[in-house]
Amino acid sequence: MKTIGIACLLTALALLCACGGTEVPETPETPYPSASPPAISAEPSPSPPPPEPTPCDGPVNPLTGLPSDASGANARPIAIMLNNRKIAQPQLGVSKADILVETLVEGGITRMLAIFQDVGDVGEIGSVRSARPYYIDIAQGFDAIYIHAGGSADAYKALKARGVTRLDGVNGTKQDIFYRDAARRRDMGYEHSMVTSGELIEKYIPTYGFRLEHEPGCSAGLKFEDGLTPSGEGAGKIKIAYSSSKSTSFEYSAETGEYLASQHGGEYKDGGNGERVAFSNILIVKTSVGIIKGDPYGCLEIDLTSGGDGFLSAGGRYIPIKWEKDAPSSPFKFTRADGTEAALRPGRTYIGIVSGSTPVEFEEAGA
């Protein structure tokens, strides 16, 4: 096992951000863990060869590198804030997200941003939760239409100042795509019950007057390479400890060429279709994470413009990378140690954004 950790000063989180509108506050959970010392790993052994890629010579989905119809390749993606509290599991529609981004909010819990190039066949999506400024940075980097339900005070300031194309299930004037799921409201509580669906999004968003396609020159900033397996160390298993109460782990399947995800003590499954959530690529972005100075609720600020280190895992192996994001509205740029652009395997991608002290463990397959 190999553990990667760089110490930085983070204090315990005790309270939540105050969110706009009628959003119900979340219950504080446990704080960040301290950094763990590196452990000695065994010599890497060869990983089983991944499945042979299927060549594509037509339009591709810019978020996955997989075949796409020409009409959808230039469409603005949909980015939806997802509740990731244990009480709100299972999530809906998450197995069909092209990109899934996870990082901390207050209290040691995480939230996710699910990004879809095409929501047409996704079905129900949720539960939808509130915005934070750094998630807005991510959505804007993909030129996405941003969907959320409420938000922190700083998130609302950023949304207004930047003129973000968005739909708000709490304070928005365009509510057609949102509804409260009766069973979730009964079993999980009001704050965990807001959902949307691909069908409603496709029906109503074209009626709102939003720009629906990318402007000339816009790019997601991602490069894909068929059959990619990084020439690095073994990453048959990966674990990211976001806090002492929340971790996300992945196990590589040589049969499918994907990483199968787990969280909250079990397999990570989509409540809509029962499928295990899986990814072709695991990207880990390391940056500065801290509590906003003077914030009485322990709200976080996460630096997504200064650049830094990270890791890319694909095909059962991983390499160190560098990341950049020139401005809040700019896309991520990922490069290898030699400065060349880091390519991804075609398929879905998980992006975990962590502090320098967050323990990240890599294990050989079968270890």
- Binned at pLDDT 50, 70 and 90, residue 57 comes out as low
Mean pLDDT of 351-361: 95
Please report, rounded to a whole number, the percentage of residues in the chain having pLDDT higher than 70: 84
- Binned at pLDDT 50, 70 and 90, residue 185 comes out as very high
Cα 266 from Cα 30, distance rounded (Å):
19
- Binned at pLDDT 50, 70 and 90, residue 227 comes out as confident
Identify the pLDDT of residue 1: 57
Element holding 158 (H helix, E strand): helix 153-162
Identify the pLDDT of residue 294: 80
- The highest-confidence range among 39-48, 65-74, 305-314, by mean pLDDT, is 305-314
User: pTM for the complete prediction?
Assistant: 0.86
User: For residue 67, how many C-alpha atoms fall within 13 Å in the half-sphere facing its CB?
Assistant: 6
State yes or no: pLDDT of 175 exceeds 50: yes
Among the listed residues 312, 287, 288, the one whose alpha carbon sits nearest the alpha carbon of residue 362: 312
Domains, the chain, ranges and CATH? 2-20+27-32+221-363 (3.50.90.10), 78-207 (3.50.90.10)
Identify the pLDDT of residue 42: 36
Alpha-carbon separation of residue 315 from 232, 242, 276, 295, 333 (angstroms): 10, 24, 18, 42, 21
State yes or no: pLDDT of 321 exceeds 70: yes
State yes or no: pLDDT of 306 exceeds 70: yes
Tokens of 212: 């629906």
Asked whether the beta carbons of 289 and 282 are under 8 A apart, the reply is no
State yes or no: pLDDT of 25 exceeds 60: no
Mean pLDDT of 25-44: 38
Which position has the higher pLDDT, 61 or 32?
A: 61
- Binned at pLDDT 50, 70 and 90, residue 59 comes out as confident
State yes or no: pLDDT of 336 exceeds 50: yes
- Binned at pLDDT 50, 70 and 90, residue 195 comes out as very high
State yes or no: pLDDT of 19 exceeds 80: no
State yes or no: pLDDT of 51 exceeds 80: no
State yes or no: pLDDT of 222 exceeds 80: yes
Per the prediction, the chain carries an average pLDDT of: 86
Cα 121 from Cα 107, distance rounded (Å):
34
